[in-house]
Amino acid sequence: MGYLLALAAALPIGFLIGMSPLMARALDPFIQVLKPISPLAWMPLALYTIKDSSISAIFVIFICSVWPMLLNTAFGVATVRREWLNVAKTLEMSPARTALRVILPASAPTILTGMRISIGIAWLVIVAAEMLVGGTGIGYFVWNEWNNLSITNVMVAILCIGLVGMLLDQLMAWLQRVVAYAD
């Protein structure tokens, strides 16, 4: 859920930043201050303000997932070939149609790169967040099994974490290949 919320926020804001140098300059200081903060550093504040561990974990996933998607979207949109945008102007395409028919397809590989990076980070952070908040999830399972001194179960869980991470990465790599285009 946190990853999907990050996707919903990062794509439109990334488009805005990529299409508007003024917005890029205005939002850059905020991004540069918030981006390097460890997602797990947000957990105590989230738990204090939200008071629900599962929603706090969603927030932490959101905050760690949003930056790579946002920055890659902004970069992809900002680097769309000017010739393509000029052709869209010549054809008198509306800004919305230009965004959907020219900018989005041209920047899709870069956007998916950000999504691929973000899903890997989100998977890392959710395991750690589950260890902190406890209750459910593979992170909680690893921590609980460690406390029970069941190293075999810990190793199996670590293997499962790695396999799921690899599957998520392979899914995103496949999507990247699907949207890739030849110049």
CATH number where 9 lies = 1.10.3720.10
Given pLDDT bands bounded at 50, 70 and 90, which one contains residue 181? low
pLDDT of residue 33: 94
Given pLDDT bands bounded at 50, 70 and 90, which one contains residue 130? confident
Mean pLDDT for 147-168 is: 93
Q: Give the N- to C-terminal CA distance of the chain in Å, as an integer.
A: 35
For 77, list phi and psi in degrees, rounded to 5. Answer: -65, -45
pTM beyond 0.75: yes
The single-letter DSSP state of residue 136 is S
Tell me the Ramachandran region of residue 181: left when phi exceeds 0, alpha when psi lies from -120 to 50, beta otherwise.
beta
Domain count, the chain: 1
Given pLDDT bands bounded at 50, 70 and 90, which one contains residue 182? low
**What is the C-alpha separation between 80 and 70, in angstroms, rounded?**
16
Domain containing 137 equals 2-179
